[in-house]
Amino acid sequence: MSIRTERKTQIRQAIVDKVLELTFHGQSFSNISLRQLAREIGVVPSALYRYFKDKDELAQVLIDHVSLLIKSTLFQFRLRFISDPNETPEQRMAMFFGVIESNAAYWHFFIAERWGGYTILEEIIQLDAVDLMNDFIKDLNRLPDYQNVPAHDINMYAELVLQLCFTWSMDWIELCRTEQTPIALKKKKRFVQNCSQKVTFLKNALNATT
C-alpha cells in the first residue's frame, strides 16, 4: 500500500470514528454536516469530498462498518449459546453486555439510527435487523428444546428477544456512562439479573406452547 493510499484510508477511518463519536454523544447522523465533520477532523470542507462523494456514501460506509462488528459479535454469542447449554442466562447476559460496553459507540449508532431520520440508514439497518432475526431463528431451530415449537411462535420469540436486546443495550450504555461507583455497579448487576429473568420467562412461556 502506497503512503498516499494509506493516508486516505486513515482519514476515511478518522471520519467514520468522528461520526460515531458525535452520534454517541447525542447528535443524530441526519444533523451532522460534512462541513462540521471537516472542521472536527481538521481539513477544509472541500477536501472531504476526496474521501466520500456525498453524505449518502458516508452513511453506507458507516453502516457497513458498524453492521460487520455487530453481526460478528452476535454470531459469536449465538455459537456460545449453542455450544454451552449449561451456561446460565445471567452469565450469557453479563457476557453480552460486556461486549456492548466495549463497543458502545457502534451499538449506539446501530440502534439509535434505526429511527434517526436519515432514510438510507433507516432502510439498511431495518434489513440488517431482519437478517439478525432470521439467523437467530435458524439457530433456535437447531436446538433440541425448540424442535416441537410451532414456527410462528419461534419467529415471534426471536423478534421479541432481538427487540429487547436493542432496548436493553441502550439502557446498558446509559448505565455505563455514569461513574462506576459501588452503587452504580450494583445497579448494573441488578440490571443483568432482571434481563436474565425476563429471557428465562419468555423461554419458559415459549416451551409451554408445545
User: Alpha-carbon distance 70 to 75, whole Å?
Assistant: 8
CB 40 within 8 A of CB 17: no
Superfamily of domain 64-207: Tetracycline Repressor, domain 2 (1.10.357.10)
User: Alpha-carbon distance 1 to 5, whole Å?
Assistant: 6
Contact partners, residue 100, CB within 8 Å, separation at least 6: 107, 169, 172, 173
Output the pTM of the full model: 0.90
Average pLDDT, the chain: 89
Q: Is 196 exposed, middle or buried (0-12, 13-18, 19+ CB in 10 A)?
A: middle
Q: Is the pLDDT of residue 9 over 80?
A: yes
How do residues 50-103 score in pLDDT, each as one tens digit?
A: 889 899 999 999 999 999 999 888 887 777 766 666 788 888 889 899 999 999
Query: Range with the lowest mean pLDDT among 17-21, 45-49, 123-127?
Result: 45-49
Percent of the chain, pLDDT > 90?
A: 55
